[in-house]
Amino acid sequence: MKLNLPNKITLARIALIPVVAILYLVNFPYHEIAACIAFIVCCCTDFIDGNIARKRNLVTDLGKFLDPIADKVIVVIMLFIFVGDGTLGGWYNAVIAGVIMSRELIITAFRIIAVQKHVVLAADNLGKIKTTFLDIGLIALTMASLQTGSIGGNPFFFFRWLGLITYYIGAFFAIVSGLNYIVKNKRVFVSAPSDVPEKSIAETEKEKGVDEEITEETK
């Protein structure tokens, strides 16, 4: 299967994810800043591949599947790291991280079930809002790890608060978007593989609406 440009960019983003983790974990001067830059590049490619796909009409089922997977993988990996090293300290932050990771695993399993039924589910707007806030939060927390522990005169203390606030907002949208995603696409659970055409549910609903309009015009 030949990959188009947006899909290649998405795969490059997936390949960059372990680089972000390694740069953060390996101790060398200013490794946190290097990890932060790599993380920002990941986020930028997320915007670039989607923009190119829409403008050049290169949206594919593979892209719809890979793009949200890439978003989920980097979030889950960085949450594991931040809970483990105490950046997200406290039992409540660990619980919130667990809820976010569980949400990502559940939605991924939901997508796999849909693919088995020849349905490709693209990310919705609430999911994109969730990803945006979590990305900002995790990038800020990466920068916050540079702080020396002194609040006064420490420019990185700002990143700590920015990271936590956007992390909590992202967690809220993770729950809301996860529930909305499953409810909106609940027919995946009740449709047999042979009953669902090889197109997204959104496309099916759009065609249904067009058929209803034609029926009304012919009355």
- For residue 47, name the pLDDT band (cuts at 50, 70, 90): confident
16, 74 contact by CB (below 8 A): no
- For residue 116, name the pLDDT band (cuts at 50, 70, 90): confident
- The pLDDT, as a whole number, for residue 205 is 52
Model confidence pLDDT, tens digit, residues 118-151? 777 777 788 889 999 999 999 999 888 775 444 4
In angstroms, the CA 178 to CA 93 distance is: 19
- The pLDDT, as a whole number, for residue 168 is 96
Cα 76 to Cα 150, 175, 196, distances in angstroms: 29, 15, 31
Q: Which domains does the chain have, with CATH numbers?
A: 5-218 (1.20.120)
pTM for the structure as a whole: 0.76
- The pLDDT, as a whole number, for residue 203 is 54
- For residue 219, name the pLDDT band (cuts at 50, 70, 90): very low
Residue 92 in this model has a pLDDT that exceeds 90? yes
Model confidence pLDDT, tens digit, residues 181-204? 888 888 777 755 544 444 454 555
The residue behind tokens 């020396």 is 148
- The pLDDT, as a whole number, for residue 192 is 55
How many alpha carbons fall within 13 Å on the CB side of residue 147?
A: 20
For 112, counting Cβ atoms within 10 Å of its Cβ (0-12 exposed, 13-18 middle, 19+ buried), the class is: exposed
- The pLDDT, as a whole number, for residue 198 is 45
- The pLDDT, as a whole number, for residue 191 is 56
The residue behind tokens 């923009």 is 51
Answer with the residue of higher pLDDT: 154 or 184: 184
Model confidence pLDDT, tens digit, residues 6-39? 889 989 999 999 999 999 999 888 888 899 999 9
